[in-house]
């Protein structure tokens, strides 16, 4: 086989089954790719020895004809997922050398079906960021025009970059306000944030519990379907996980979208939005029309409140979720003369600026005297935003929007914080509402950077989302590859 890196998951599965190559060869190829793309700073930890061990088992299973659903598929894992025996830091100094004794449910689901862990991927510290610049071990470089040192997006920047650079066949990500979809858009790959509750949060380092959701980042839509199918499912260890049946996402792909109604919300627009992005949206609308979908302009007037609501709710939960990193039981500890001093020293040196900022915002909005004005009000508006989506989904089946207002910007170029936070303006509403969203690449902009389009759907309608996405994917026929890619 000339270049194993070119194949998607479904292709690899069928080629492995035909014994065109072995899992061992595949894993070797990916390890080489990881070595070659080291400068992009994507992997925090690698576990190649274990990967080879797993490859042996996979090859044996193919020999016996007892291969599992994702047998031999080499994956990268965002460092927010706890992995048994493998350092898990959430890209934070405070969790330096933390080695979990347990495996997150989502990754366990993947390994149980034969997938192979190549290593842990960088992200923004505790998934707080939109550029991967808050990672303790330094930012990841976007493989597109890599010499220009652009952001891969965030927080799942390492995951999206690794999939784009072919340093992983697919990767896991987590999305709290756009952390899967935005980096997927910046890196020209597919990123799916499932409905809140579709995937278990057990064993994922918590950022904002009511928003966090795991999902796949892949080369194409059908790979996303394969990954999601394995990652999903009810988990008694997570009280917020859903016990809804998991459909066979992959087998049910390919349905016609004739007659379905697509809403185009007019509010998903902004002053700084580039013409390339608007053009990608128009292209998408045309693809959908050509396939018989009905395009309906819709209004979602509460959209403008999403970002402020998000920046109250997420920091509030984070301020409480991150209280456990106190130096007492695990992770970093910087001693002091008293317990309080030890807390201060540990948390001061252990957390980066963005994390501290959000802890402070969160602490403030929950404080007595401010709770009603901020947190409680934000929760009420969040409910209204959810209601607005529910109402609109009575009129249309899906919504199509740009994923981001811009394409990947240069690392270090940004900008004031508010501009940075605006990166999530199109992705945050779906997070607040808990509905599923997918981003897929449509074209390159004038700087040869990918442009992503987002599709949003009803609760637990990932199947429909994947169908629509696949129709758009085949029309867009996005075949470009970044220059920072291994080959």
Partner 1 sequence: MTNAGQNSNYISGKTGDWEIVIGLEIHAQVLSSSKLFSGASTEFGKDPNHNVSLVDAAMPGMLPVINETCIKQAIKSGIALNAEINKYSVFDRKNYFYADLPQGYQISQYKYPIVGEGSLKITDANGEDKIIGIERIHLEQDAGKSLHDQHPSKSFIDLNRTGVALMEIVSKPDLRSPEEAASYVKKIRTVLRYIETCDGNMEQGSLRADCNVSVRKPNGDLGTRCEIKNLNSIKFISQAIQYEAERQVEILENGGVIDQETRLFDTSTGETRSMRSKEDAHDYRYFPDPDLLPLELSDSQISEIRSDMPELPDQLVERLISEYGITKYDANVIAEEKEYVHYYENSAKNRDGKLVVNWMTSELFGLLKKNNIQFNQNPISPNYLNELVELIENKTISGKIAKDVFEIMFATSKSPKMIVKEKGLEQVTDDSAIEFFVDQVINENKDKVKEYLSGKDKLFGFFVGQVMKVSQGKANPGLVNKILKSKLK
In the complex, the smallest distance separating the C-beta of residue 247 from partner 1, rounded to whole angstroms, is 24
Sheet arrangement for strand 213-218? 43-46, 116-121, 74-78, 170-175, 213-218, 190-193, 437-444, 450-456, 398-402, 261-265, 294-298
What is the number of other CB atoms lying within 10 angstroms of the CB of residue 40? 28
The whole-angstrom separation of Cα 158 and Cα 120 is 9
Annotation says 91 is catalytic: no
Cα separation of the two ends of the chain: 13
Q: Which of 58, 91, 130, 155 is catalytic?
A: 155
Annotation says 155 is catalytic: yes
Residues found near partner 1 in the complex (CB under 8 A): 81-82, 88, 90, 95, 98, 100-102, 104, 201-206, 208-210, 236-240, 316-317, 319-320, 322-324, 326, 328-330, 339-340, 343, 363, 366-368, 371, 375
The whole-angstrom separation of Cα 83 and Cα 44 is 13
In this complex, which beta carbon is closest to partner 1, that of residue 52 or of residue 364?
A: 364
Q: Which residue has the tokens 């939109």?
A: 130
In the complex, the smallest distance separating the C-beta of residue 356 from partner 1, rounded to whole angstroms, is 15
In this complex, which beta carbon is closest to partner 1, that of residue 59 or of residue 317?
A: 317
Contact 449, 407 (CB under 8 A): yes
In the complex, the smallest distance separating the C-beta of residue 80 from partner 1, rounded to whole angstroms, is 8
In this complex, which beta carbon is closest to partner 1, that of residue 139 or of residue 317?
A: 317
Phi, psi of 191 (to 5 degrees): -130, 130
In this complex, which beta carbon is closest to partner 1, that of residue 250 or of residue 311?
A: 311
* Residue 243: cis peptide before it, omega within 30 degrees of 0: no
In the complex, the smallest distance separating the C-beta of residue 463 from partner 1, rounded to whole angstroms, is 25
Q: At 421, list the tokens.
A: 């936070």
Q: At 165, list the tokens.
A: 């650079």
Three-state secondary structure call for residue 213: strand
Q: Which of 58, 78, 200, 274 is catalytic?
A: 78
Annotation says 179 is catalytic: yes
Sign of CA dihedral 261, 402, 449, 42: negative
Give the angle 69-72-78 at the CA atoms, nearest 5°. 90
Contact 141, 411 (CB under 8 A): yes
> Which residues, 6+ apart, have CB-to-CB distance to 276 below 8 Å?
407, 443, 445, 446, 451
The whole-angstrom separation of Cα 278 and Cα 1 is 40
In the complex, the smallest distance separating the C-beta of residue 74 from partner 1, rounded to whole angstroms, is 23
In the complex, the smallest distance separating the C-beta of residue 429 from partner 1, rounded to whole angstroms, is 18
In the complex, the smallest distance separating the C-beta of residue 152 from partner 1, rounded to whole angstroms, is 24
In this complex, which beta carbon is closest to partner 1, that of residue 198 or of residue 201?
A: 201
In this complex, which beta carbon is closest to partner 1, that of residue 80 or of residue 399?
A: 80
In this complex, which beta carbon is closest to partner 1, that of residue 275 or of residue 368?
A: 368
Q: Which of 130, 179, 319, 431 is catalytic?
A: 179
Residues annotated as catalytic (active site), given as ranges: 78, 155, 179
């Amino acid at each position: 086989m000339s270049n194993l890196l070119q194949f998607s998951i479904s292709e690899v599965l069928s080629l492995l089954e035909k014994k065109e190559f072995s899992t061992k060869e595949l894993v070797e190829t990916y390890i080489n790719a990881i070595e070659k793309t080291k400068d992009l700073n994507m992997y925090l930890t690698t576990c190649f020895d274990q990967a080879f061990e797993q490859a042996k088992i996979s090859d044996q299973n193919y020999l016996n004809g007892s291969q599992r659903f994702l047998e031999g598929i080499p994956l990268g894992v965002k460092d927010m997922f706890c992995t048994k025996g493998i350092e898990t830091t959430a890209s934070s100094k405070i969790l330096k050398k933390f080695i979990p004794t347990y495996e997150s449910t989502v990754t366990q689901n993947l390994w149980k079906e034969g997938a192979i862990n190549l290593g842990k991927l960088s992200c923004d510290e505790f998934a707080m960021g939109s550029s991967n610049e808050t990672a303790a071990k330094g930012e990841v470089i976007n493989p597109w025009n890599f010499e220009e040192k652009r952001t891969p997006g965030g927080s799942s920047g390492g995951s999206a970059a690794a999939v784009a650079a072919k340093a992983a066949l697919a990767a896991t990500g987590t999305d709290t306000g756009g952390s899967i979809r935005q980096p997927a858009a910046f890196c020209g790959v597919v990123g799916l944030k499932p409905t809140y509750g579709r995937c278990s949060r057990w064993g994922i380092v918590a950022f904002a519990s009511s928003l966090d959701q795991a999902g796949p980042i892949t080369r194409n839509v059908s790979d996303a379907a394969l990954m999601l199918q394995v990652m999903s499912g009810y988990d008694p260890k997570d009280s917020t996980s859903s016990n809804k049946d998991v459909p066979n996402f992959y087998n049910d792909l390919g349905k016609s979208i004739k007659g379905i109604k697509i809403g185009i919300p007019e509010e998903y627009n902004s002053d700084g939005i580039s013409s390339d992005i608007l053009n990608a949206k128009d292209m998408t609308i045309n693809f959908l029309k050509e396939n018989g979908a009905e395009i309906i302009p819709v209004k979602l007037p509460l959209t403008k409140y999403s970002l402020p609501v998000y920046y109250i709710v997420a920091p509030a939960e984070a301020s409480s979720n991150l209280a456990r990193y106190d130096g007492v039981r695990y992770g970093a500890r910087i001693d002091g003369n008293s317990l309080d001093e030890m807390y201060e020293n540990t948390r001061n040196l252990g957390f980066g600026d963005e994390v501290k900022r959000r802890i402070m915002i969160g602490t403030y909005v929950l404080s007595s005297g401010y709770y009603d004005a901020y947190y409680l009000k934000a929760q009420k508006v969040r409910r209204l935003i959810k209601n607005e989506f529910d109402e609109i989904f009575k009129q249309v089946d899906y919504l199509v929007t740009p994923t981001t207002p811009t394409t990947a910007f240069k690392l270090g170029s940004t900008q004031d914080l508010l501009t940075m936070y605006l990166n999530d303006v199109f992705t945050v509403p779906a997070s607040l509402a808990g509905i599923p969203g997918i981003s897929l690449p449509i074209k390159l902009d004038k700087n040869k950077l990918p442009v992503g389009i987002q599709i949003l759907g009803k609760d637990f309608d990932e199947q429909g989302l994947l169908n629509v996405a696949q129709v758009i994917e085949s029309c867009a026929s996005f075949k470009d590859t970044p220059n920072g890619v291994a080959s």
